[in-house]
Each structure stands twice: as structure tokens, then as C-alpha cells.
Chains A and B, each alone.
Chain A
Amino acid sequence: MNWKMVRTVTFRTFALVAVLCAPRSGRAADAKTPYPSMAPLDEYLMADRNAEIALARSAAPPSISDAATVMVLARHGYETAVQGKNGFVCVVERAWMGPFDSPEFWNPKNRGPLCFNPPAARSILPLTLKRTDMVLAGLSKAQIIDGLKAFQNNGLPPVEAGGMSYMMSRQGRLNDSAGHWVPHLMFYLPLTDAMTWGAGVAGSPVLLNPQFSGAPEPVTEFMIPVSQWSDGTPAPTDMDGH
């Protein structure tokens, strides 16, 4: 990979981080760190369990999510609300699944519905569960990072080939800036260079998601926008959601 390519990938990744992680400029003007620490737990929970189940299912077309296991967030972590039959697992992730340096890491409004396919349910979902357990136990970011590193050496399964997930919900809220963004699929690989998939270069439909990328999880995550929401309605084709 030449330097021009490195610069391009770096720039586009930075731009994506800006879209996915940055707060609205107006809000930024009010406070540089609008979410400096964890809000009260109740703000992250959804009072209506059925609403959370429906939101989780909205991540994928009903032909997939209707038969999926659905997990919901409770006071002590995620718990299975509906037992599935097809190996997919749908959950609504919270803000702490963003990069640790994201200014929205503690944004209590974020709701990220996604449905993991079977390989990802076995090898990526454990990261969501682990982070969440540590957050709810009141650990600091530094402690959570240490805990995840330890988890890699003891308990975290390696990324399975073919691990992917659906994020096609139009009801989700990924962050203050992007809202529900665009429907997309995500693909998980052991830590690798973005250019192995041509991610982030000009004209490529593949994007690098900065969610993990070795900080600290040894996982590379690619995203590909798709043309429809999970309900079959057309979606914007521009990646800025317009």
C-alpha cells in the first residue's frame, strides 16, 4: 500500500469517525464533552421490554429477525428475552459499544439495533456482553480496556470466518450526528489492513468501521451500505444519509 493510499484511507476513516462518533456541531459549541461520564443507568434502559424487542428485530428483515434470539438490556446485563431458532441474535447496543475515544461513549440516547449471524453471535456478541457487564459493574474506561485485553487471553473466542451482522433499522439512533444513518451490513475479520477489502478508498462501497480495530479488540469491521431498510422501503444512497 503506497502513501497516497494510506493517506486516502486515513482521511476517509477519519471522516467516517467524524460522522459516526462526533456530536452535533451546535452541541459541541455548548460543551466539548457533552457526555463526559456515564449517565444514570435508567437512561440507558428501555422501560418497555416489548419496544426493545421490536427495535432489536428491526435490525434485519423479518424473514431473519422473526426467528432470531432477542436479547434485551437489564440492570445486570443483557438477558435473553426471546429464544430463537435460526442462530441469529438481535440486540440493541448502547453507546459504550463505540470506540473508547468517541465523545459519545456515554451518550444515553444511542440505540444501535443489530442482528448477528450465527458465526458473529458466537464470536462477536461476547464482546458486547463483556463490555456491557463491565460498564454496569461501574468500571472505568481504562479498567474496561484492561478487562477486554484479559478477555482476549482467557475466554474470548477467535473471530469466526463469515461473521457478519445486519444493521438495517430505520428506528435506530447510532449517535447524535448520524441518527439512524443508512442501512448497512457489517463484516468481522481478525485484525487486518483496511486495504485488504479496498475499504475507505475513493469510490469503494466498503467502509472501515472504527468500532474495534485493535483498540483493544483484535477485530476489523467492514461496512457495506445497502439500498433498503429492513422493512423493505428504499434508503438514501449517500453515506451521509441523504
Chain B
Amino acid sequence: MSTNRHPIEREELMAYLDGELPADQATEALSHLELCAECQTLVADFRGVSQELMAWEVESPDVGIPSEINAALGERLQKREAAKVGSPRLINRVMTSRWVWAGALAIVCVVVGLTLLLTSRNRNEGRSTTYPSMASIEQYLMPDRNAEIALARSAAPQSISSDAEIMVLGWRGYETAIEGKNGFVCMVERSWTSPFNSAQFWNPKVRVPICLNPAGARSILPLTIKRTEMVLAGLSKAQMIDSIKAGFDNKELPAPEPGAMCYMMSRAGYLNDAVGHFVPHLMFYFPLTDKTSWGADLPDSPVTLNPQFQGGPEPITEFVIPVAKWSDGTAAPVM
């Protein structure tokens, strides 16, 4: 990875995965990861290698030593012992030799390293084109409607989501599964609400639980519904972008209302392959503005810019603020 093309080095990516980067660098890494397919692949590989190393165990040999060889070895050893009574046994010499152990360890490391490298390369080749186009619709749907309702509700504390309207994804778009009472709307967004240039745009595994407040439900939810309908209608990215632009031009799509925000505090969500469920956070929506107006992405600032919209094409700026707990009240990791 060249520093000319990426603002973060490989080593920094590894530190990011280990949670060792300072908040500002972690934020920068996350923003870059969201858009960089190459880095997402690298992150997935790092994670894979880590998991394989964690899971690796020395296996017992599948093939036993043939009885003839065993017998011959035994006979030979007996002869040697008889010839060298009082001298150290060969096996003891071998077992107590540091050089032999060091050599064996080196061989094991080389073998494991080569295996992981080959596995990683094979995976790399497969992942560079992981989500080039839309998967079958079934892969984006959740067959268990109640599971989708529960996942949607997990975006916010129960005190909010239990009275919220719940929408679930059907074959033709989102539909109301449960009417709400408090003006909030909870749903599970799919990958196509990512930036259009995101490598995860067609990732069928993405499940993003979100609860929009009343102002967000009126002015941001229509964007999710619009994108989803166009996706399910089979429009290309270029067609969707054109349609969204036209929607804002002719006021079919609303500008963000003052105070529009949402909860994303689910530990059960899956935002993308790189970050998994990420950290619990709130998001705030504004007409397109400079990120410095909130001090976003500056060192030690708790505010980050979400690249979800940002004029590409929606004229909306979205700020993210991590919070301390998941919606179920359990403590979350610090970003």
C-alpha cells in the first residue's frame, strides 16, 4: 500500500484493528476504510490471519508409523543401547539440544507462514471483486420478519424503540410492520444506503439497524425508501444518482429538517466487512455543510463526518458521535 494513494500505512491499519490507534487516526482510518476496497480487503485478510493464528493447533499425524519400521527402529535402538551402555541416549541428546528445537520451530514457522500466505492470496483474489453487482434479492431479505423487527428495534434503547414505527424490507421495498406512537421510525438499512462508490454497496450481508427521530423520519427516511425502491426496480447506480438529483431539484425529496438525527446503538448490526457492528453512535443530519462547522474529524474531536451522503449526490452532511453504551445498556468499546 503506497502512502501516495492511502492516508494510512499497513502498520497503522493493523494498529487500528487492535484498537491501538489514537482517536483521530482511528477516525481517519475508518473514513478511508469506508471507501477503499483495497484496504477493506487488507483488513479482512489481517483479521483472517489473526483468527487463523488464534485457532491454529499442531495436529497429530494422520498416518501412524508402519509396524515394520517401528520394529526395525526398536531393534536398532536396542543394539545401540547395548553397544553404548552408560552413554547418553541419542533421543535425549536430541530432545535437550536447543539448536534442534530452534531449527524445528523455524521450520514450523516457515510452513505456517507459507500456508497462511497462500490462503491469504487466494482469498485476496476472490475479494478484489467481492461485491461487483447486486446479489439476488433473497440475499438482502430477512426471511424471519420478527427477527428483522427485533433487529430494527435494537438500534435504540427500548424506551424509544418500543413505541416506534417499524419498517421491514419486502420484495417491493420497505413496508410498515408495526405502527408507532412516538414519531420515531426504526428499520434495518441495507448496503445500498452506503456511498455509491463504496466497495460494500452491494454487500448482501450488511444489516444496519437505525431509529430515526421524527424530524429524521420526515426528511431522511424518504432517501432510504427512494434508494431501496430504485435498487429493487433494477436501476443502475448512474440511474439512481440521476433520479436522486432530480428528486432534490424538483423538491420531491425534502431537505433535512432542523434537529433530524438517529440512533445507531445496536450491537447486533453489521455495518460492513471492515467494521462489523462498529461502535454505538448517534448521527445528525444537515443541509450540505463544511465538516469544520462541528469540528468534525479534527484531532481528539468526538465528532466525525459520515461520508454516506455528503453531496454524492444527496446534499446532506451527516455527523457521527459515538456513545458509551449499546442500546441494551451494556458498555461499548471506545472508538
CB of B173 within 8 Å of the partner chain: no
Contact A202 B157, CB 8 Å, known A197-B261, A225-B324, A237-B331: yes
Which 4 A/B pairs are nearest by Cβ-Cβ distance?
Answer: A203-B157, A61-B300, A63-B298, A201-B159
Contact A204 B157, CB 8 Å, known A62-B300, A230-B300: yes
CB of B295 within 8 Å of the partner chain: yes
- Determine the main DSSP class of A at the interface with B: loop
Q: Indicate if the CB atoms of A61 and B301 lie closer than 8 Å.
A: yes
Q: How large is the interface on A (under 10, 10 to 19, 20 to 34, 35 or more residues)?
A: 35 or more
Q: Indicate if the CB atoms of B214 and A198 lie closer than 8 Å.
A: no
Question: Could you say which of B22, B263, B286, B324 contacts A227, with CB atoms under 8 Å apart?
Answer: B324
Return 22 A-B CB contacts under 8 Å, by A number. Answer: A61-B295, A63-B299, A63-B300, A117-B294, A168-B302, A187-B284, A195-B182, A195-B183, A196-B213, A198-B157, A198-B159, A198-B263, A203-B329, A205-B324, A224-B323, A225-B324, A226-B322, A227-B322, A228-B302, A232-B300, A237-B324, A237-B331
Residue on B with the closest CB to A64? B295
Query: Could you give, for residues 293-320 of chain B, a 1 whenever the CB lies within 8 Å of some chain A CB and a 0 otherwise?
Result: 1110011111100000000000000000
Question: Could you say which of B24, B156, B298 contacts A198, with CB atoms under 8 Å apart?
Answer: B156
Q: Indicate if the CB atoms of B299 and A196 lie closer than 8 Å.
A: no
Tally of contact residues, B, Cβ under 8 A = 48
Q: Which residues of A contact B23 (CB under 8 A)?
A: 228, 232
CB of A162 within 8 Å of the partner chain: yes
Residue on B with the closest CB to A205? B323
Residue on A with the closest CB to B323? A205
B175 to chain A, nearest CB (A): 24
- Complex: A198 Cα to B184 Cα, angstroms: 9
- Complex: A119 Cα to B335 Cα, angstroms: 27
CB of A185 within 8 Å of the partner chain: yes
Q: Which residues of B contact A197 (CB under 8 A)?
A: 213, 259, 261
Residue on B with the closest CB to A227? B334
CB of A86 within 8 Å of the partner chain: yes
CB of A129 within 8 Å of the partner chain: no
Query: Could you give, for residues 181-225 of chain B, a 1 whenever the CB lies within 8 Å of some chain A CB and a 0 otherwise?
Result: 111100000000000000000000000000001110000000000
Question: Could you say which of A63, A118, A196 contacts B215, with CB atoms under 8 Å apart?
Answer: A196
Contact A63 B295, CB 8 Å, known A161-B258, A162-B289, A203-B329: yes
Contact A185 B159, CB 8 Å, known A162-B286, A203-B327: no
Q: Which residues of A contact B302 (CB under 8 A)?
A: 168, 185, 226-228
Q: Indicate if the CB atoms of A206 and B282 lie closer than 8 Å.
A: yes
B22 to chain A, nearest CB (A): 7
Q: Which residues of B contact A227 (CB under 8 A)?
A: 302, 322, 324, 334-335
Question: Could you say which of B280, B286, B300, B329 contacts A228, with CB atoms under 8 Å apart?
Answer: B300
Query: Could you give, for residues 214-242 of chain A, a 1 whenever the CB lies within 8 Å of some chain B CB and a 0 otherwise?
Result: 00000000001111101110100100000
Query: Could you give, for residues 161-185 of chain A, a 1 whenever the CB lies within 8 Å of some chain B CB and a 0 otherwise?
Result: 1101010100000000000000001
Query: Can you add 20 more A-B contacts, CB < 8 Å, to A60-B301, A205-B323?
Result: A5-B163, A60-B295, A62-B299, A63-B300, A161-B258, A161-B287, A185-B303, A189-B259, A192-B259, A196-B215, A197-B261, A198-B263, A201-B159, A202-B159, A203-B328, A225-B324, A226-B321, A228-B300, A228-B334, A237-B331
Q: Which residues of A contact B292 (CB under 8 A)?
A: 86-87
- Complex: A119 Cα to B258 Cα, angstroms: 13
CB of A1 within 8 Å of the partner chain: yes
CB of A190 within 8 Å of the partner chain: yes
A201 to chain B, nearest CB (A): 4
Q: Which residues of B contact A201 (CB under 8 A)?
A: 157, 159-160
Q: Indicate if the CB atoms of A205 and B325 lie closer than 8 Å.
A: yes
- Complex: A189 Cα to B215 Cα, angstroms: 12
- Complex: A225 Cα to B299 Cα, angstroms: 18
Query: Could you give, for residues 210-251 of chain B, a 1 whenever the CB lies within 8 Å of some chain A CB and a 0 otherwise?
Result: 000111000000000000000000000000000000000000
B318 to chain A, nearest CB (A): 12
B280 to chain A, nearest CB (A): 8
Residue on B with the closest CB to A195? B182
Q: Which residues of A contact B133 (CB under 8 A)?
A: none
Question: Could you say which of A2, A60, A87, A190 contacts B258, with CB atoms under 8 Å apart?
Answer: A190
- Complex: A62 Cα to B329 Cα, angstroms: 32
B251 to chain A, nearest CB (A): 18
Q: Indicate if the CB atoms of B158 and A202 lie closer than 8 Å.
A: yes
- Complex: A87 Cα to B261 Cα, angstroms: 24
Question: Could you say which of A63, A161, A187, A189 contacts B301, with CB atoms under 8 Å apart?
Answer: A63
